[in-house]
A = this chain, B = another copy of it.
Amino acid sequence: MKSLLLTLLLVASAVATSHGTSRSEPYLIHPLRLKSGSGSNGASLIKGINCASWRLGVEAHNIIDWKTVPQECEEYVGNYMLGLQYRQDSQAVTREAYLYAKSLNLSRDGKDIWVFDIDETSLSNLPYYAKHGFGAVPYNATSFNEWVEVGVAPALPESKKLYKKLLSLGINVVFLTGRPLSQKHITASNLNLAGYHTWTKLIVKDVSFTDKTAVEYKSAERRKLEKSGYRIVGNIGDQWSDILGTNTGHRTFKLPDPLYYIS
């Protein structure tokens, strides 16, 4: 399997390389195995779950409503989250967000805001998830809340960099989180500790939204912001529920998160 993959990559690489030098030569094109008839040609190449494909499926919102990371992908997800790719993937998102922000014609009346989610966006719970199966074991509210109450989650550096750049552009920041009122104080303290020292609002989830989805809760709070005269020029989160629904903002950005899914 690995040698087959390598061979294919080498062939492909040769094709791609030769392409640059001589456009008139014939190419060896992978025929997508159309002619063998069954239509299920890819299947034999794939045993079980391809964890890279699973992660892409999650990020592109094809795989939804999942409860835990597939068991066989725990190590893959752990390596991804602790390695460089997660950071580079995050940077590609925040870089794009900054390029967009820089292009805006801002009013500088204090009403241009950017909505930041907190968990796995502004703050990283990676120290917690690294000890709790990287999302491959079911969510445990008790132990997660204990971690939150310590208030030492580090910043996701790429998000903090974006945050600082947005502030310097004159865009104000609103934090909008699914954390409850009981955690508002420690969350503010944690944000400060992690280097987020200023914000226009820190919105936590009111008990009236207990039976609502994150999409409903966050849409409602964003609607209130817009009714108050704020213009949501950008919105960033790690969950699709941060950026779907209504009043999503002029442009949205999805940070990677293969650890958990919130609908």
Tell me whether B88 and A30 are in contact (CB under 8 A). Answer: no
Contacts A34-B194, A60-B254 given; does A42 touch B11 at CB 8 Å: no
Q: Which chain A residues in 1-39 approach chain B with CB under 8 Å?
A: 4-5, 8-9, 11-13, 15-17, 19-20, 23, 27, 29-34, 39
Would A62 and B254 be within 8 Å (CB), given that A12-B78, A57-B93 are in contact?
A: yes
Q: Judging by beta carbons under 8 Å apart, are B92 and A57 in contact?
A: yes
Q: In the complex the two chains form, is B57's CB within 8 Å of A56's CB?
A: no
* Copies of this subunit: 2
A49-60 vs B, Cβ < 8 Å mask (1 yes, 0 no): 110111011011
Could you say which residues of chain B place their CB within 8 Å of the CB of A253? 62
Please report the C-alpha to C-alpha distance between residue A194 and residue B31 in the assembled complex, in whole angstroms.
12
The answer to whether A184 has its CB under 8 Å from any CB of chain B is: no
Give the residues from 144 to 162 in chain A that come closer than 8 angstroms, CB to CB, to chain B.
Answer: 154-158, 160-161
Q: Does A249 contact B (CB under 8 A)?
A: no
CB contact between A53 and one of B19, B52, B88, B127 (< 8 Å): that residue: B88
Asked if residues A91 and B43 are in contact (CB atoms below 8 Å), the reply is yes
Q: Of A129-137, A173-181, A208-216, which binds chain B?
A: A129-137
Whether B46 pairs with A91 at a CB distance below 8 angstroms is yes
Q: Is A52 a contact of B88 with CB atoms below 8 Å?
A: yes
Question: Which of A79-87, A104-112, A198-206, A221-229 contacts the other chain?
Answer: A79-87
| CB of A40 closer than 8 Å to a CB of B | yes
Shortest A61–chain B CB gap in Å is 7
Which of under 10, 10 to 19, 20 to 34, or 35 or more describes the interface residues of A? 35 or more
A187 contacts the other chain (CB 8 A): no
Residues of B within 8 A of A90 (CB): 42
A62-B93, A156-B32 given; A56·B56 CB < 8 A: yes
A19, A45, A97, A161: residue with the most chain B Cβ atoms closer than 10 Å = A19
| 6 closest Cβ pairs, A-B complex | A16-B78, A12-B82, A53-B92, A34-B154, A50-B88, A16-B75
22 contacts between A and B (CB under 8 A): A12-B79, A13-B75, A16-B75, A19-B78, A29-B126, A32-B126, A32-B154, A34-B155, A34-B194, A43-B161, A45-B88, A50-B85, A53-B85, A53-B88, A53-B89, A54-B92, A56-B256, A59-B60, A60-B61, A62-B93, A62-B97, A62-B253
What 5 new A-B contacts, CB under 8 Å, besides A8-B83, A31-B127, A49-B92? A16-B75, A29-B130, A42-B161, A59-B59, A61-B254
